[in-house]
Every structure is written in structure tokens, then in C-alpha cells.
């Protein structure tokens, strides 16, 4: 029986091995491992990609979010006890960054069609203590609409993007500063370069991007022990720096972002055209947005676990993103009683199908055919 692996990082990285090896040889020859030319080049490329003024490379995606909120606290924009509205359907890291800085997460339900934040639900959660709304571009699909701009302007809240899954995506709607690229839609954005991401490191890495010069300076200092210059610590900071080895990998792979995105969009289109099982709810493709398909997330109402067992018996690996919403995690048990019906129902229905650019398109069509047989 043929086996369809959900994701092979070896196959994903194979096309870039020679370029990465050459870049690492430069680092070995230079003997410069932190704050070097590769990190600086990556920051310029990320800022250009998002049409913003500043980018700060850091250690991982969670730290990127943590640094954003810590910087806002240090700048006096937020204080302990202030509220941040977060989508209920997200990875727990989105919430950890909020609580780690003494801020209060306020969970808002999601739109069933996009599986992203429902801005009408978010508006209902706004109070005088609300200082930010976090938009998570989950699965590589932009979470944006004119409502986001309206809420920012009407209530004076910051819009923080969790862009961990959506590098290279863009929205048909303009952001706060007129740009359309995710990462540049709100006030500030966090990136993750975890190895499984569309652009992944060979270890872990992240970044913060923004057009706010003061915020960028605070983030950069906080990530470097709180120092703005050597031996001058203006904050009680952290050690959240990206090393040159990871920066070099990301510089190489970022140069192939367009072809990676095209490949993933092609595979998503094949699923969309070939899956015809009425028991399966396919994700909606928005032709006017650029969705980058970090995950291809279908829904199988009432029979999700049966479907996964069936796919496994036919050699297809699947996954779930995410089976347990953050508000139902043991560490956030105080929020367990909150009613978030769409999020909780979808958590019992969603299934991730393989969509990696390294998987042959013929395999994608075969997986669709197997799914149709359920």
C-alpha cells in the first residue's frame, strides 16, 4: 500500500541544501554568529515583503509575540490588567504571549467560513480596558476586513498580527497604512519560522515587523538583554536573538517564497477541484486574496475521527490544527466556561490534509480520491 506522509522536512529542504551549505560556509569563514550580515539581510527582506519600515529578527514566533506586548508595556501603551482580544481558534502561543506580560486574554469566537476571528464578535468584547485586538492569519488565510480598520479607529486599539502561518499572503482589503500584505496590515506583526512553516528554519526562529520606529527600537533592545547599546540596559530584557545559521537558512528560503506559495496554492486548488464527498466541508478559496495554505483544513462534521482512521488505513497521514482550543487547555482553566460555540464545534470537525510543496501533485489528486471514498 502506498504511504502518503503528512510532511517530510527532509524533502522540503532538499532543493535548498547546496545554497544553505554555501551560506553556512560563509559563516564559518567569517566567524560571526550573532547580529551578522545574514540577520541584517533577512530583516531588510522581511520589511520590504510587508511594506513596513522595520523588522527585528528573534528566536521564535512565541518570543516575537512576547516581545511585542512587552514593548507596549514598557512604552506605557499597555499596563498589567489590560485586555487583548484574541481569536478562540488559534495555537496556544497566541495566548501565552498575552498572559506572559500580565495582560488579560479575551476570547472571541470565529467566523465559520474563514475559521478566523469574527470581527463582529470581537467588537462585542471591547471594554474600556481593551488595548489590542490580535488577528491570527490561521492556516495561511488572511484575517482582515474593513471592520478591522474601523475598530482600530473607533476604539483606539492596536491591531497585532500573528503572521506565523501566513508569510507571503495578502488581503484584498487594505490595512491600516494602505498595504495589503499580511504582516503590514496592522500596527505590528509576529512571524514564526518553526521548521514546519512555509518558510522554516533548521531549528527555530521568528521576527517582529512594524512601521512604528519606537516600537521596533524597544523590541530590538528587549530581545538583546534590554540593551540599546553595549552595557547599557534600558530594560530588564530577554535573550531572544536569532543566530546567523538560522538567518542564513531563512535568507535562502525566502528567495524561493513565490515558488513555494505557487506550489501550495496549486495543491489546494487540486483538492478543491477533486474532493466531491458531501460529508466533507472544504475550506473556502477567496480568489481576491492570496492564501498561502500553510494547512489545508477540511471539516468532517460528526465523523472526524472515523474519517482520520479511514485515511490512515489507506496510507494517508492527517493531522488536526487544533483539537483543543486554548481556553480549554488546563493552564487556562479559568476560561473553560466561556461559550464559544463555533470554535468548540469546529475543533471536533477539522482535519488537516497534506499540502506540502514537496508532495507530488499526483499524490494530492490520489488523496482527494481516497477522501471521496469515505
- One digit per residue, the tens of pLDDT, for the chain of length 374 reads 999 999 999 999 999 999 999 999 999 999 999 999 999 999 999 999 999 999 999 999 999 999 999 999 999 999 999 999 999 999 999 999 999 999 999 999 999 999 999 999 999 999 999 999 999 999 999 999 999 999 999 999 999 999 999 999 999 999 999 999 999 999 999 999 999 999 999 999 999 999 999 999 999 999 999 999 999 999 999 999 999 999 999 999 999 999 999 999 999 999 999 999 999 999 999 888 999 999 999 999 999 999 999 999 999 999 999 999 999 999 999 999 999 999 999 999 999 999 999 999 999 999 999 999 99
Closest by Cα among 108, 147, 101, 106 to 128: 106
Tell me, yes or no, if the pTM score tops 0.75.
yes
Place of cell 488595548: 131
Nine cell digits for residue 311: 485515511
Q: Is 284 helix (H, G, I), strand (E, B) or coil?
A: coil
Query: Which residues make Cβ contacts (< 8 Å) with residue 250, sequence separation at least 6?
Result: 42, 193, 199, 201, 205
Predicted local distance difference test score (pLDDT) of residue 68 = 99
Question: CA triplet 220, 223, 226: central angle to 5 degrees?
Answer: 85
Tell me the domain boundaries of the chain. 10-108+118-254, 256-372
Q: Among the CATH numbers 3.30.70.260, 3.40.640.10, 3.30.590.10, 3.40.50.1000, which is that of 10-108+118-254? A: 3.40.640.10
Q: How far, in Å, CA of 374 to CA of 370, rounded? A: 7
Query: Alpha-carbon torsion 55, 117, 130, 239, what sign?
Result: negative
CB 256: neighbour CB atoms within 10 A? 15
Which residues share a beta bridge with 232? 229
| pLDDT value of residue 288 | 87
> Are 84 and 90 within 8 A, CB to CB?
no
pLDDT score of 164: 98
> Quick one: fold of 256-372?
3.90.1150
Q: Which pLDDT score, from 0 to 100, does residue 287 have? A: 83
Sequence-ordered list of residues with C-beta below 8 angstroms from that of 185, at least 6 positions apart, any chain? 135, 142, 144, 148, 159, 161, 171, 175, 176, 179
Cβ-contact 201, 246 below 8 angstroms: yes
Helix, strand, coil shares, percent, the chain, to 5: 40, 15, 40
Are 109 and 121 spatial neighbours (Cβ–Cβ below 8 Å)? yes
Q: What is the pLDDT of residue 334?
A: 98
CA dist list (Å): 89 to 94, 346, 350: 10, 9, 11
CB 266 within 8 A of CB 358: no
Beta strands in the chain, from DSSP E residues, in sequence order: 54-58, 83-87, 104-108, 130-136, 158-162, 188-192, 206-210, 227-229, 232-233, 296-299, 350-353
Amino acid at each position: 500500500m502506498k504511504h502518503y506522509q503528512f510532511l517530510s522536512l527532509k524533502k522540503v529542504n532538499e532543493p535548498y541544501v547546496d545554497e544553505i551549505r554555501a551560506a553556512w560556509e560563509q559563516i564559518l569563514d567569517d566567524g560571526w554568529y550573532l547580529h551578522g550580515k545574514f540577520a541584517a539581510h533577512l530583516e531588510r527582506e522581511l520589511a520590504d515583503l510587508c511594506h513596513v519600515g522595520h523588522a527585528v529578527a528573534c528566536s521564535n514566533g512565541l518570543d516575537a509575540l512576547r516581545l511585542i506586548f512587552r514593548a507596549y508595556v514598557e512604552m506605557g501603551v499597555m499596563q498589567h490588567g489590560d485586555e487583548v482580544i484574541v481569536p478562540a481558534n488559534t495555537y496556544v502561543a497566541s495566548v501565552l504571549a498575552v498572559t506572559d506580560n500580565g495582560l488579560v486574554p479575551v476570547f472571541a469566537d470565529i467566523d465559520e467560513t474563514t475559521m478566523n476571528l469574527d470581527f463582529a464578535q470581537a467588537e462585542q468584547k471591547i471594554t474600556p480596558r481593551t488595548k489590542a485586538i490580535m488577528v491570527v492569519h490561521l492556516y495561511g488565510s488572511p484575517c482582515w476586513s474593513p471592520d478591522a480598520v474601523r475598530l482600530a479607529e473607533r476604539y483606539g486599539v492596536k491591531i497585532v498580527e500573528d503572521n506565523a502561518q501566513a508569510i507571503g499572503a495578502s488581503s484584498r482589503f487594505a490595512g491600516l497604512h494602505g498595504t495589503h500584505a499580511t504582516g503590514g496590515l496592522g500596527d505590528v506583526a509576529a512571524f514564526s519560522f518553526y521548521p514546519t512553516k512555509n518558510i522554516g528554519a533548521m531549528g527555530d526562529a521568528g521576527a517582529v515587523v512594524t512601521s512604528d520606529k519606537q516600537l521596533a527600537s524597544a523590541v530590538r533592545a528587549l530581545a538583546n538583554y534590554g540593551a540599546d547599546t553595549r552595557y547599557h540596559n534600558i530594560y530588564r530584557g530577554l535573550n531572544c536573538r536569532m543566530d546567523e545559521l538560522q538567518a542564513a537558512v531563512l535568507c535562502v528560503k525566502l528567495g524561493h517564497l513565490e515558488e513555494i506559495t505557487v506550489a501550495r496554492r496549486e495543491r489546494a486548488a487540486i483538492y478543491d477541484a477533486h474532493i466531491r464527498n458531501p460529508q466533507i466541508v472544504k475550506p473556502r478559496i477567496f480568489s481576491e486574496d492570496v492564501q498561502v495554505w500553510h494547512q489545508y483544513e477540511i471539516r468532517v462534521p460528526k465523523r472526524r475521527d472515523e474519517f482520520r482512521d479511514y485515511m490512515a488505513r489507506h496510507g494517508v497521514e492527517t493531522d488536526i490544527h487544533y483539537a483543543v482550543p486554548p481556553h480549554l487547555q488546563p493552564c487556562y482553566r479559568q476560561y473553560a466556561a466561556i461559550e464559544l460555540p463555533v470554535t468548540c464545534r469546529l475543533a471536533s470537525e477539522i482535519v488537516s490534509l497534506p499540502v506540502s510543496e514537496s508532495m507530488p501533485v499526483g499524490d494530492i489528486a490520489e488523496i482527494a480520491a481516497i477522501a471521496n471514498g469515505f
